[in-house]
Structure formats: structure tokens, C-alpha cells
Copies of this chain bind each other. A is one copy, B any other.
Amino acid sequence: MSNPLRLGIAGLGTVGIGTVQIVQRHAGLLKQRTGREITISAVSARSRTKNRDADLSAYAWEDDPVALATRDDVDIFVELMGGSDGAALASTRAAIAAGKDVVTANKALLAHHGHSLAAEAEEHGHVIRFEAAVAGGIPVVKALTEGLAGNEIRRVMGVMNGTCNYILTRMENAGLPYAEVFEEARQLGYLEADPNLDVGGIDAGHKLSLLAAIAFGTKVSFDAVELEGIGRVSIDDIRRADDMGYRIKLLGVAQMTGRGLEQRMSPCLVPADSPLGQLQGGTNMVVLEGDSVGQIVLRGAGAGAGPTASAVMADIVEIARGSRISTFGQPAASLATPVPAKATAPAPYYLRMELSDKPGALAKVATVLGEEGISIDRMRQYGHADTSAPVLIVTHKTTRDAVDHALGRLPATNVVVGDAVAIRIETV
């Protein structure tokens, strides 16, 4: 294995340039660790003339990423363009057909086409690695695929969109409403061009679907991820949840249950003193639970040039060392087609409502909950100046169905002002 390993890098944004910089800066270190020289043969991006923070003059330039992907002097096609289709898909397909290994940071591409791409790569005896696609610099794909390979995985959880966690913790710490912090984040350049990718939970949902495929040996099924963004999280709920000892996170959860594969990305309450609850700002956290290992928590930067390029390089080093692990940890042909769970697993719920100032109001609400089989763990009624009082309820474990039924019946009690809010409490 003393021949150089030659890269073709498509996409020269922050991550692409970050990768070029590591290859240049750590040539000696990388050779010591892999036994091979790692070199760059060619690069590609939309604009050749843009000023970039690296000297690219030694590399061939390709305007067309497909041409880059199929060059004879490229061993690994490094896809850092992004996008679920278009050039990213075409060039990745071309690279595989031309007998290249692929390293990608593209969660959207794999969430939509991961299964067929993995099958194509394996047919040609090649590998696709994607550490950088999930939780940036955190080596979570490796931890799950390899580090926990002796475990039946019970559950995967994660805060995997730094922008959403930034917005939620900023709302909490500054006491600002969602719309205001959203605008701040936009001005700081934290949001994708289509902000719904971030705040709608789509980006984090892509990542969750990739981890679920590895964890449960199933085909990637992003379409089955239950998605709810953070747009409806109010500063009131953040404050009230805090009063009850919780924080609100955009939390991804994947688990295999008797009812099928459950995948959801939605605002959840988690205990304020848990590792997930303590996570502030743009940092990511993934929690892996296995039958032997128990709970493993990984924390680190989920985005940014350095961390993401670090993950890209981990995959390149792995291939340089001769490791050939199937894309999702087992041959694509052996991945099962998952049955999506029709209902989410039972959980405690947080309920918030405004009760009118009438005798027996609370009794009416409690009666509805009791009739739906929902029992109350904790309840708190706040002092009030006007004609209604905020009431918080933490339930014992119940089903989403029961909660929805109960919420549906509340208007008829004539004691609840406006809409009641229900948020799942995830046991971590």
C-alpha cells in the first residue's frame, strides 16, 4: 500500500477548502498514520476565479464534477457540493460506475438515494463513507457502525442541527421570542438559503435517517421520519418547561419497537440536568444506546470548516488504511425494508393551557384527562392578574393518541382559553 492515494474534490466551499488545508498541512502526519501519501489530483467548483483560502495551483481543474469523478488519476471522489440530486447525484453515480470510492458530507443525497448508491458501490466492490454527513466533527458514524458493532441498538437520539439549538438556547437565555432570534440567526448567516432545512427539522431528519439505517440494519427511509420544526416553540413554553426542570430541544429519536421503526425529529422536553438538557448553542450531541454498552454520549461541533473537514479526512484515512466497511455497516442487499411505526412509543407529556377563573375549571380538565386514561404526575397553577390562569401539567406515560383526544375535548369544557399545548417529554 505504498502508492499514493489520490483525491478528486468536488465542491470548494468552507468544507472543501478545509479538507484541502488538512491534506496540505498534515501531509507528513497522514503518511505516518496511513503508510501512504495522500494527494489531490483535481478539484472542481462552480466558480474557478473565486478567491479561496488555499493554493490550488498544483491541482487540475474540472468545471464538470462528473468529469472530475471519472478521471483516471482519482482514487477517491470527495463529494462536498451538497444537494440531494443534480450534480451531486450525477457525479457520485459516475464515480461509482468508474470504480472509485466515495467520501461525502452530503446528508440530503444519502437520505434520498443512500440505499441505491450503496448497492451500486458494493456491486463495483467500492465503498461510500459519510462521517461528515452526520453531526460534523463528532465521529458518530464510526462509533455506531464500528464501536458499538457488538450491540443490538436500542435507541439513537440526537441534537443534530446546531442552528436550531442556537435559536432555542438563545431564546431561553435572552428571553426573546422565536421570530426575533430567527431573524438574528439569519443575519449572522447561520441559516441555510432555505431556512426550512434547519428550522423545519429536515436537515436533522436526514441525519437521523442515516443513523437509523446503521443502527437497525434497515434501508434509509427518510420519508418515514416524523418531522416537526421549532417554529411553534414559544418563549412561554421555554420558560414554563424550565420551571418544571426541563429544556426544549429539537431532538431526533430512532428506535425499533414492537410497532415498527419509529423515527421522529421534533421539539421535546428533556431534563435540564441531563447531558442533552445542558447542551448550549450550536454544539451537537448524539446519544447511542446498546444492549451491552448502555448509554454512550458524544458531543462536539456539528458544523464548520474544521470539524466537518476532520470527519471527511477520517473517512479518507480509513480508506487509505485499507478498511472496506459497507456503507450502512452491512451489505446493502441485507438491509431490511423497515415497517414504520404507526404510533410513537408512550411517554410523559407536558401540557400547558390557560384556565378561566371559574370554580371547578381544573376539575373539568382533570376529568377529561382521566377519561382518556391520562394520569397526572405533577401540576402547577400560576398566579394571575386577569381572568385566566396558566396551568402546567406533567403527565405519567401515555400515548400521543390519548393526548390528542384529550386536547380535542378541552374546548367543549368551556374552561380552557385558547389552544392547549402538548410537548413530549423524552426519557433520557
A contact set with B: CB distance below 8 Å: 18, 22, 26, 29-30, 32-35, 131, 137-139, 142-143, 146-152, 217, 273, 275, 278, 290-301, 304, 306-307, 309-314, 316-318, 321-325, 329-331, 334
Contact = CB atoms under 8 A, between A and B. Distances in A.
Ranked nearest first, the 3 interchain pairs of A and B with the lowest CB-CB distance are A150-B313, A139-B147, A293-B310
A322 to B, nearest CB: 7
Contact of A330 (B33, B150, B152, B298): B33
A146 B317 contact: yes
Nearest to A288: B300
- The winner among A273, A301, A314 for most chain B CB atoms within 10 A is A314
Majority secondary structure, A binding face: mixed
Contact of A151 (B152, B292, B310, B330): B310
Contact of A137 (B146, B278, B293, B331): B293
Given A32-B330, A318-B146, A297 B296 contact: no
A214 to B, nearest CB: 10
Contact of A149 (B33, B293, B306): B33
28 contacts: A18-B292, A22-B150, A26-B151, A29-B152, A30-B150, A32-B217, A33-B149, A137-B294, A137-B296, A139-B146, A142-B146, A143-B147, A148-B310, A149-B313, A149-B317, A150-B310, A150-B312, A150-B314, A273-B278, A275-B299, A292-B306, A292-B307, A293-B300, A293-B301, A293-B310, A296-B300, A297-B299, A297-B300
A113 B357 CA distance: 76
B292 A138 contact: no
A2 to B, nearest CB: 12
A19 to B, nearest CB: 9
A321 B323 CA distance: 8
A28 to B, nearest CB: 10
Contacts of A307: 292-294
A156 B295 CA distance: 22
B331 A306 contact: no
A53 B137 CA distance: 40
Given A131-B147, A275-B299, 11 more contacts: A22-B150, A29-B217, A33-B149, A139-B148, A142-B142, A143-B143, A148-B314, A275-B275, A275-B278, A292-B307, A323-B325
